[in-house]
Structure 1
Amino acid sequence: MPKIIWCGNKSWDTDFPENTLPNNAKRIERPDNIFKSSLLYGILPLIFSYAIICIKWFMIGEKAMNPIYVPFGIILGLLLLPVHEVLHGVCYKKGQKVYIGICLKKFAAFAVCHEPISKRRFVIMSLMPMLLGIIPLAIFLLSPPNAFLSGICIPMGIIGMLSPMPDYMDVHIICKQVPKGAFVHTQNDGFYWYK
């Protein structure tokens, strides 16, 4: 298990301890504005979420949801953002340090580990937070009609599916730019890969 270090509220441009890159490391090209650039990566997860909702409501023949519970689902979904980062963090190797925190100014959370990670593990690490969307949507889909449960699970599931938008973008970028068998190594100034 990696060593997870809670940093609390930090500035988005905070530097974290990093390791020296090997001489053959190549920079991975990423957009300057990660948040803006990742918005398109929310389209498919949103369609998936709405498809689950429509399938359930079609199966039961009614829209069993009480809107009064939706704010609670939204709050729970937002409170799980640090858990999103913990799900990233647990994917690193034993002994590696993962810094987890929030940036209230950007209304964002972060997990940073400047250690080498295989391309395959990087993809798994990036997609792990999808569980925070898949689990509530699966509970909603598989449970009997319940207005309370629907009001909680639907917004939680949508937030859980949309919060990894930058991660989906990173997976796409890594799959395009990083060859099989390579390592991904983040630094304070960006992402790199090497074999």
Structure 2
Amino acid sequence: MYNIRFKGKYKDESELKKGELPINAIKYDEPDTMNKIFWKGFLISSPMLLVITILLFIRIGFELNLTIIIIEFILLFVHEFIHGFACPKEIEKEVWTYFKEGALFVYFKDPVSKLRFIWLSLAPNLILGFIPFTLSILGIFNFNSTLEIYIGNISWMMILGGIGDYLNIYNTIKQVPKGAKVMCYGFNSYWFE
């Protein structure tokens, strides 16, 4: 129905390179390894990450236990499937694991609009991260301290886990002209008019 397939373990970029790039496609100016993506994503989002971390420690407190770790691990997969659901239904999407680099990712080769690419990059971070985190900070869950701690800490970790997405959003806003299309080819993003 939504054309999302779980592909499992990612081995190399040849698994992703399908079809052809449009002749006029322009490669994003972006890092070429997952490790560099994480570091650059961390740098551009560090002011926001600092603010939410301070809010977590002041308002709720940091807690990490086995239950939180298990829930977080499961939500990593949910995060990727939300990316897939945010894509147009007719596009074929693939969810890959890349634990060697500490990542999971969704891949699709069909072009989408600039705005759709920003939305699909942001959607899981809003749904699993920013919205529940904001509700926790506002005290919506303070009727149950365990629930408040779990939702606050898990949503905080989901926000941290989106640093690669924030880099995609930043690059798309900065590099892609209005009205252009965005597509993935291999581990890189491209835009064309």
What is the TM-score normalised by the length of structure 2?
A: 0.84
- More off after superposition, 39-48 vs 125-134: 39-48
Q: 1:124 aligns with which of 119, 122, 131?
A: 119
Q: Percent same amino acid among aligned pairs?
A: 29
Deviation, structure 1 residue 41: 3.4
CA contact under 8 A between 2:27 and 2:191: conserved in structure 1? yes
Q: Call closer, same or farther: CA 1:115–1:46 in 2, change over 3 Å.
A: same
Deviation, structure 1 residue 6: 0.6
Match of 2:176 in 1: 178
State the aligned residue count. 187
**C-alpha separation between the residues in 2 aligned to 1:192 and 1:10?**
21
Match of 1:50 in 2: 53
CA contact under 8 A between 1:126 and 1:168: conserved in structure 2? yes
In structure 1, list runs of 5 or more residues that go unmatched.
58-62
Larger-gyration structure (1/2): 1
1:117-156 superposed matches below 5 A: 117-130=112-125, 131-140=127-136, 141-156=139-154
Q: Call closer, same or farther: CA 1:43–1:15 in 2, change over 3 Å.
A: same
**C-alpha separation between the residues in 2 aligned to 1:189 and 1:108?**
13
Q: 2:159 aligns with which of 133, 136, 161?
A: 161
- More off after superposition, 29-38 vs 6-15: 6-15
RMSD between aligned alpha carbons?
A: 2.4
**C-alpha separation between the residues in 1 aligned to 2:74 and 2:14?**
22
Q: 1:40 aligns with which of 38, 43, 46?
A: 43
Q: Call closer, same or farther: CA 1:50–1:146 in 2, change over 3 Å.
A: farther
Deviation, structure 1 residue 186: 0.9
**C-alpha separation between the residues in 1 aligned to 2:29 and 2:15?**
20
Which residue identity is paired with 1:133?
G
CA contact under 8 A between 2:13 and 2:187: conserved in structure 1? no
**C-alpha separation between the residues in 1 aligned to 2:86 and 2:145?**
35
**C-alpha separation between the residues in 2 aligned to 1:150 and 1:176?**
36
Runs of 4+ in 1 over 4 A off after TM superposition: none
CA contact under 8 A between 1:185 and 1:192: conserved in structure 2? yes
